[in-house]
């Protein structure tokens, strides 16, 4: 039982916090969002230079062999700075698929490009009617010769517009909601038949709706056997949820700090509004919500290494429930305590609220995960 960071982890935290303090204030962020594709190649290059894009990969694949705690540290820092670069889509999600499911050839082909920052990825999973069920897939992948032909529509693919490579879930057998017969495919974004409609998201990121029409890929495109991909998809989705929990903790932490700072300085009736007890108690409740979320973010981080997939999923779902509840409260009350200024695009606080809100609706919301834990027999069992 030890909640402290190791010496190396502490250094990692200092290094990423330092990098973002220098390169990522609110004005800089606005500039990055206006660059082509909606994020900064220069920042991405710096993350690569510091080795942050290679953290979770095995040393034999050119990475640093870091674990879940290191990813938590990075995601928390990215949350604090409201980073818009595609770390989640590329390093956590695509990296996760390659690490846990990729063949030696696939690893050799794609991992170096992630680590050196030359390639980014998108995860094409969401469909019109799938909502948060990862097994609900109608996009098809049919055998053709040695390779595959992919047809279907995917939505809100984060970094989808800019990604060099897409990771696509597709049905190779069975019906829409069958748990078997799902494959995972690596599809270069520039192959024939891939049509992208890109757009900014509410929180300042970029996504795309992507149509696959007779998209032909080789036999080497499939991760795994093409039929039993769900366990891998669930594992990687859990890692993405864990990362999102940590990002939310970072964003809530900063959101509370900004709010406390604001009510200490904003004066009405001749005094700082933070001297009013109703506001003090609200801020105290925000602190309680944040600490409960932080505890569950740590719990989920530790759960990523559980051998039992059911236990892991239940822990991660529970964390997403707590974080979801906390982020809603902290996000909303941050706006409330800022008053009118909190409603403006020009104040930073609203941008935390928007990012937090989108995290809630990514890879399963509070109700969705509560139902999952509940149907699995609860958390104490």
Partner 1 sequence: MDLAFTKEEIAFREEVRDFFKNNVPPDTRRKLQEGRHLSKDEMVTWWRILNKKGWGTTHWPKEYGGTGWTSVQHYIFNEELQSYPAPQPLAFGVSMVGPVIYTFGNEKQKKEYLPRIANVDDWWCQGFSEPGSGSDLASLKTKAERRGDKWIINGQKTWTTLAQHADMIFCLCRTDPAAKKQMGISFIVFSMKSKGVTVRPIQTIDGGHEVNEVFFDDVEVPYENLIGEENKGWDYAKFLLGNERTGIARVGVSKERLRRIRALASKVEAGGRAIIEDPAFREKLTACEIELKALELTQLRVVADEGKHGKGKPNPASSVLKIKGSEIQQTTTELLMEVIGPFAAPYDEHGDAGSNESMDWTAQIAPSYFNNRKVSIYGGSNEIQRNIISKAVLGL
Q: Point out which residues bind partner 1 (CB under 8 A).
A: 1-6, 9, 69, 260, 263-264, 274-275, 277, 279-281, 283-285, 287-288, 291-296, 298-299, 301-302, 318, 321-322, 370-371, 373-374, 378-381
Nearer CB in complex with partner 1: 345/380: 380
| Matching residue, tokens 């999973």 | 125
CB of 40 to partner 1, least distance (A): 31
Nearer CB in complex with partner 1: 35/285: 285
Nearer CB in complex with partner 1: 4/105: 4
**Strand residue runs (E) in 97-146:** 121-124, 140-144
CB of 211 to partner 1, least distance (A): 37
Three-point CA angle 249, 21, 89, nearest 5° = 55
Contact call for residues 187 and 194 (beta carbons, < 8 A): yes
Give the torsion sign (CA, 327, 330, 333, 335).
negative
CB of 297 to partner 1, least distance (A): 10
Nearer CB in complex with partner 1: 321/363: 321
CB of 1 to partner 1, least distance (A): 5
Number of residues written out for the chain = 381
Give the torsion sign (CA, 284, 17, 262, 361).
negative
How far, in Å, CA of 253 to CA of 282, rounded? 15
| Run of H or E including 105 | helix 104-115
Instruction: Return the exposure string of 298-324: e unless at least 16 CB atoms fall within 10 Å of the residue's CB, then b.
Output: bbbbbbbeeeeeeebbbbbbbbbbbbb
Residue 74 φ then ψ, to 5°: -65, -45
CB of 367 to partner 1, least distance (A): 8
Contact call for residues 214 and 151 (beta carbons, < 8 A): yes
Nearer CB in complex with partner 1: 105/375: 375
Nearer CB in complex with partner 1: 62/376: 376
CB of 329 to partner 1, least distance (A): 13
Nearer CB in complex with partner 1: 3/340: 3
CB of 23 to partner 1, least distance (A): 27
- Here the contacts of 54-60 (C-beta below 8 Å, separation 24 or greater) are 54/114, 54/115, 55/91, 56/91, 56/92, 56/95, 56/96, 56/99, 57/95, 57/99, 57/111, 57/114, 57/115, 58/99
CB of 358 to partner 1, least distance (A): 22
Nearer CB in complex with partner 1: 194/373: 373
């Amino acid at each position: 039982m030890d909640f402290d960071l190791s010496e190396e982890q502490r250094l990692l935290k200092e290094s990423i916090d330092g990098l973002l303090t220098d390169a990522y204030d609110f004005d800089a962020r606005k500039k990055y969002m206006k660059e082509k594709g909606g994020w900064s190649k220069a920042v991405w290059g710096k993350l690569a230079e510091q080795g942050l894009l290679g953290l979770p990969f095995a040393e034999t694949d050119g990475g640093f062999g870091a674990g879940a705690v290191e990813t938590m540290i990075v995601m928390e820092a990215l949350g604090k700075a409201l980073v818009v670069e595609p770390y989640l889509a590329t390093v956590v999600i695509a990296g996760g698929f390659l690490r846990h499911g990729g063949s030696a050839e696939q690893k050799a082909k794609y991992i170096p490009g992630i680590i050196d920052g030359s390639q980014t990825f998108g995860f094409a999973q969401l469909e019109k009617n799938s909502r948060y069920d990862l097994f609900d897939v109608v996009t098809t992948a049919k055998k053709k010769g040695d390779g595959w032909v992919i047809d279907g529509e995917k939505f809100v693919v984060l970094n989808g517009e800019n990604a060099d490579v897409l990771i696509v879930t597709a049905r190779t057998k069975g019906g829409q909601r069958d748990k078997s017969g799902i494959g995972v495919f690596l599809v270069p974004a520039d192959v024939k038949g891939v049509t992208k409609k890109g757009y900014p998201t509410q929180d300042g990121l970029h996504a795309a709706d992507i149509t696959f029409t007779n998209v032909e890929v080789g036999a080497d495109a499939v991760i795994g056997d093409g039929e039993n991909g769900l366990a891998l998809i669930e594992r990687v989705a859990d890692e993405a949820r864990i990362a999102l929990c940590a990002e939310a903790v970072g964003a809530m932490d900063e959101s509370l700090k900004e709010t406390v700072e604001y009510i200490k300085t904003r004066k009405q009736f001749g005094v700082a509004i933070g001297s009013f007890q109703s506001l003090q108690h609200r801020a105290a409740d925000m602190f309680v919500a944040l600490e409960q979320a932080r505890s569950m973010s740590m719990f989920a981080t530790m759960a990523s290494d559980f051998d039992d997939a059911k236990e892991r999923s239940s822990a991660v779902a529970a964390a997403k429930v707590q974080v979801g509840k906390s982020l809603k409260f902290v996000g909303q009350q941050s706006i409330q305590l800022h008053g009118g200024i909190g409603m403006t695009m020009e104040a930073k606080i609203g941008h935390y609220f928007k990012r937090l809100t989108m995290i809630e609706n990514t890879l399963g919301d509070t109700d969705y995960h509560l139902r999952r834990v509940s149907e699995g027999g609860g958390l104490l069992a």
